[in-house]
Structure 1
Amino acid sequence: MSAAQLHELGLFRHRVFVSRLGWDLPGVRRDTLIEFDEFDTTGTSYVLARDGKHNLIGCTRLLPTTRPYLLGQVFAHLCGDSVPHDPQIWELSRYGAASDLHPGLGIDLFKGSLRFAAHLGARDVIAVTNTSIERYFRREKVQFRRLCAPVAHAHEHLVALDFCANQYSQLEAS
């Protein structure tokens, strides 16, 4: 991605995760307007969604679990018995979509992210999320399994989920 695209992504993520959702992220100040963390490196893959005017309206981040990643480094206690470290298991994080303006964008972005992860060699995609998003995935008939029971964290319940990366073809039929 170009420097301008990365800057646009950082602005979008700050609006979604810091300003709108109120996340208190280490090293990210509310007045910086840019959100990146130590997992955004040159080897990080992103899926971006744009509207008809080319405005950024959604994003996800994909990382192989063979290098440092959010769930493994920050939320390892959500992984159950062991923290995944496998070239065929990738992490999806920083999943954000302007679904209020673009109905259906959230699930379309998720499907596209699974497709891209499978293209990159993923068999499974793991993610830490809250139980509200877990219910959303269930309503959308996304197949997943929990890695552990939900854990209370900052006024919500977090859970780690494991998705089959190849289920996108099954999702298209539903």
Structure 2
Amino acid sequence: MPSSLRVVRFRSGDAPEVLAQAWRLRYRVFKEQLGWEINSADLLEFDGFDRNAIHCAVLENNRVVGYWRSLPTTDTYLLEASFPDLLGGQVPKSASVWEISRFAVAPGAKRSREIGKLLVREIAAFGRDVKASELIAVTDPVFERFVKLCGLRIERIAGPMVVGKGHEGDVEAVVILCNIDAPTLEAVGLSLHAA
């Protein structure tokens, strides 16, 4: 019988050991697997956005096997600071819009599809819980397709645009937007109001 998956949300100072595992996972996915040109140290991938983020991790046997983070667009966030050209410099700044970034599933995880779907569902639940009207993300077309396959209702609002190099050549980015409303939540098995 497979072990259970557990979802935790936390801020940087609340769960340092979980965050350290998440940074290791991010390094494995973004630096080793994808070959992105991003800052890293000691086999960890972290940046200045982590401090103010709300982090989400999927744990299996107390090991981080999935992850994403979210930032309010009222603060400086990844799309605004690193990829504003994707939106022609017109990035959202609103208390009701949050950014999702650094979505990762452990390479080689036996239950990777289940972990990914759980993370996508949790993105929608998070949006509902923080009373966001929209979630925005800069991501690659592969993740965009996966999110759609999971049932999350999204719209591409920019891209694709080449934003760097990776192991497979050019890294393309798109910007996706997700309205947090009853149809979106129902599409991933959630209600508009938390239980």
Q: TM-score range by the shorter chain?
A: 0.7 to 0.9
Residue among 115, 122, 126 paired with 1:105: 115
C-alpha separation between the residues in 2 aligned to 1:80 and 1:118?
28
Q: TM-score, normalised by structure 2?
A: 0.78
Residue pair 1:89, 1:122 contacting (<8 A) in 2 also: yes
State whether residues 155 and 176 of structure 2, in contact with CA within 8 Å, keep that contact through their aligned partners in structure 1.
Answer: yes
Q: Are the aligned partners of 2:56 and 2:69 in contact in 1 as well (CA < 8 Å)?
A: yes
1:161 matched to 2:173: no
| 1:118 counterpart residue number | 128
Q: Helix, strand or coil: the match of 2:188?
A: helix
Partner in structure 1 of residue 10 of structure 2: none
Greater than 4 Å deviation, 4+ residue runs: none
| CA–CA distance in structure 2, aligned partners of residues 81 and 147 of structure 1 | 13
Across the aligned residues of Structure 1 and Structure 2, the Cα RMSD in angstroms comes to 1.9
Structure 1: tracts of 5 or more residues without a match: none
Please tell me whether the aligned partners of residues 152 and 187 of structure 2 are also in contact (alpha carbons under 8 angstroms).
no
The aligned counterpart of 1:149 is 159
Partner of 1:71: 79
Alignment of 1:1-174 (within 5 A): 1-25=14-38, 27-29=39-41, 32-41=42-51, 43-51=52-60, 53-80=61-88, 82-98=90-106, 100-102=109-111, 103-153=113-163, 154=165, 155-166=170-181, 167-172=184-189
* 3-state DSSP of counterpart to 1:62: strand
Alignment partner of 1:104: what SS? helix
- Distance of aligned partners of 1:5 and 1:141 in 2 relative to their CA distance in 1, 3 Å threshold: closer
| DSSP 3-state at the match of 2:103 | strand
CA contact (8 A) 2:98 2:136 kept: yes
Shift of 1:139: 2.8
Alpha carbons 2:120, 2:152 under 8 Å: kept = no
| Structure 2 runs not aligned, ≥5 long | 1-13, 191-195
Q: Judging by fraction of residues, say which structure has more strand.
A: 2
Could you tell me how far apart the structure 2 residues matched to 1:111 and 1:2 are?
22
CA contact (8 A) 1:126 1:161 kept: yes
Q: Identity of aligned pairs, percent? A: 27
Give the number of equivalent residue pairs.
168
Instruction: Give the Cα–Cα distance (whole angstroms) in 2 for the partners of residues 10 and 137 of structure 1.
Output: 22
Matching residue's letter, 1:14: Y
1:14, distance to aligned residue in structure 2 (A) = 1.2
3-state SS of the aligned residue for 1:117? helix
Shift of residue 37, structure 1, vs aligned partner: 0.4
